[in-house]
């Protein structure tokens, strides 16, 4: 309708121009009114100028409108009220089209922000990239998981883990894969799940990343607890009657000996001593086995952690005081680097103290054979972290052998002659109840056990 009005106005101007030109020719051929012909000529020139201006103005407006559309500038407005009647309808149409596109753009941006908010609220890392490795979408969970503030290209993860980069490029549609990533003192077991799609002709890959290390450790601990529960139940059911029966037989034997002695019968003292020694040995070993089983039941009966604000500096000083005599006796140097006095974590102080004592004692034993045995405890907030406190317990011992490293948190497993094999397993269970983690990093000449706990924001 706009262009129909434009054609009508242009046609009227053209007909008017032709009419004036015909009149001027008629005046020149039929009369000698030269001044009239000159005026008509001037009128024709004015009409030509008006028509050219009319056409070019429309072209300029259309060009300006299309340029604004090309750059998605929908804020440009055309003043239809102030324009003459021939342009009002055209400008009104331009404004209506701009409003329609602006509405679509606003809705698109709203949907994008809505989707972005949902992606950020998801507790799983989400990473989307094209076939060249250019990252299209990454949420904060992924950045925090991989400890990267920005991620523009997949290849930038090469310095963290070449295996992860290789897995991201090679993982296929609907494929699941496990990748182990070592980040400084922390080990991640990432579960990757990929999907592929075409977005406006561009192939994209969407990969979800989830650290299942804690879940795996928790599941492993629950499995061991079930095994221990079954074993302790069966062993105690078998041992208890043996102890009771041994005590009964020992009592009956003693009564029989007394009765024969009173009757004046002769008793072979050597045989009697062997029988009593055998019964005492059975009773002693059975009681020892019963105590052994009761000790392991602690893994299943750990009290629920009563979390409350705990100042780490005070707790570490208390641990140092408790171990002071033992450190002096073993000639081990213990250095503690404390955080600010106001730094607090949510913890059960008795249980956390038990974990620290276990780790420090293990470190003391590990470096006993060194010429200068040293244990260091460092509590600090890692760079880039605001919600976690880390406590490192390090020693200068020979390190943990590679074939032993994967077994140190398994219940019953120990390399010590007098060890029970539940200290580290119990410590990991306590840390899981605190919502924290315990990790180990070792190399010849150094072993570091790292605890991570929730930090209370005191700001």
- 3-state SS of 324-359 is HHHHHHHCCEEEEECCCCCCEEEECHHHHHHHHHHH
Query: What digits encode the pLDDT tens for the residues 362-418?
Result: 899 888 888 888 999 999 988 767 788 999 999 998 888 887 777 777 765 666 655
pLDDT at 111: 78
Task: Tell me what pLDDT residue 412 has.
Answer: 59
Q: What is the mean pLDDT of each successive set of 10 residues along the chain, which is 459 residues long?
A: 62 85 82 81 85 74 76 70 62 79 81 75 83 87 83 87 88 85 72 84 86 64 59 58 65 66 62 63 63 57 79 90 86 89 88 90 86 90 80 90 77 60 78 86 89 77
Residue-wise pLDDT for 271-318, tens only, equals 566 566 666 666 666 666 666 566 555 555 566 788 889 999 999 998
Which one, of 147, 128, 146, lies nearest residue 138 by Cα?
128
Q: How far is Cα 234 from Cα 289, in angstroms, rounded to an integer? A: 12
- Asked if 416 and 365 touch (Cβ cutoff 8 Å), the reply is yes
Give the length of the chain: 459
Q: Cα(421)–Cα(99) distance, rounded to whole angstroms?
A: 73
Q: How far apart are CA 120 and CA 457, in angstroms?
A: 22
Judging by DSSP bridges, how do beta strands 125-130 and 388-395 pair with one another? Answer: unpaired
Q: Which residues of 281-296 are buried (b: 16+ CB within 10 A; e: fewer)?
A: ebbeebeebbeebeeb
pTM for the full model?
0.49
118, HSE (Cβ side, Cα atoms, 13 Å): 6
Q: pLDDT at position 316, please?
A: 92
Whole-number pLDDT of residue 394 = 92
Q: 339, 315 in Cβ contact below 8 A? A: no
**Cβ count within 10 A of residue 128:** 18
Write down the pLDDT at residue 411.
65
Quick one: pLDDT at residue 400? 86
Task: Identify the pLDDT of residue 184.
Answer: 63
């Amino acid at each position: 309708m706009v262009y129909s009005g434009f054609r009508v106005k242009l046609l009227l101007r053209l007909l008017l121009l032709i009419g004036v030109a015909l009149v001027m020719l008629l005046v020149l051929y039929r009369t000698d009114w030269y001044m009239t012909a000159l005026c008509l000529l001037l009128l024709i020139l004015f009409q030509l100028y008006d028509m050219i201006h009319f056409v070019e103005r429309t072209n300029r407006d259309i060009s300006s409108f299309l340029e604004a559309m090309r750059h998605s500038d929908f804020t440009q407005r055309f003043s239809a009220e102030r324009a003459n009647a021939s342009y009002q309808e055209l400008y009104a149409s331009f404004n209506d089209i701009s409003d329609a596109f602006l509405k679509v753009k606003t809705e698109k941006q709203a949907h994008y922000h809505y989707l972005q908010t949902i992606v950020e609220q998801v507790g799983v890392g989400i990473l989307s990239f094209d076939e060249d490795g250019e990252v299209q979408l990454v949420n904060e969970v992924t950045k925090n998981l991989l400890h990267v503030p920005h991620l523009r290209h997949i290849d930038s993860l090469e310095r963290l883990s070449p295996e992860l980069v290789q897995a991201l490029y090679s993982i296929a549609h609907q494929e699941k894969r496990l990748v182990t990533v070592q980040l400084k003192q922390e080990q991640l077991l990432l579960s990757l799940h990929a999907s592929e799609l075409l977005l406006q002709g561009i192939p994209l890959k969407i990969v979800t990343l989830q650290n299942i290390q804690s879940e795996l450790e928790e599941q492993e601990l629950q499995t061991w607890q079930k095994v221990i529960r079954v074993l302790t139940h069966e062993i105690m059911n078998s041992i208890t009657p043996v102890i009771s029966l041994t005590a009964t037989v020992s009592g009956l034997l003693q009564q029989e000996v007394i009765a024969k002695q009173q009757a004046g019968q002769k008793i072979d003292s050597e045989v009697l001593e062997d029988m009593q020694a055998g019964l005492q040995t059975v009773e002693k070993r059975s009681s020892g086995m019963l105590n052994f089983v009761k000790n392991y039941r602690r893994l299943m009966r750990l009290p629920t952690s009563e979390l409350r604000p705990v100042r780490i500096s005070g707790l570490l000083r208390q641990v140092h005081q408790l171990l002071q005599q033992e450190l002096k006796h073993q000639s081990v140097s213990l250095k503690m680097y404390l955080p600010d006095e106001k730094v607090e974590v949510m913890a059960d102080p008795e249980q956390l103290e038990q974990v620290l004592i276990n780790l420090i004692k293990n470190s003391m034993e590990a470096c006993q054979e060194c010429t200068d045995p040293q244990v260091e405890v460092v509590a600090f907030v890692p760079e880039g972290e605001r919600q976690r406190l880390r406590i490192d317990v390090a020693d200068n011992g020979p390190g943990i052998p590679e074939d032993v490293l994967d077994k140190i948190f398994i219940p019953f497993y120990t390399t010590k002659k007098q060890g029970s094999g539940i200290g580290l397993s119990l410590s990991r269970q306590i840390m899981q109840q605190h919502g924290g983690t315990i990790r180990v990093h070792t190399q010849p000449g150094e072993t570091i056990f790292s605890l991570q706990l929730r930090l209370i924001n005191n700001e």
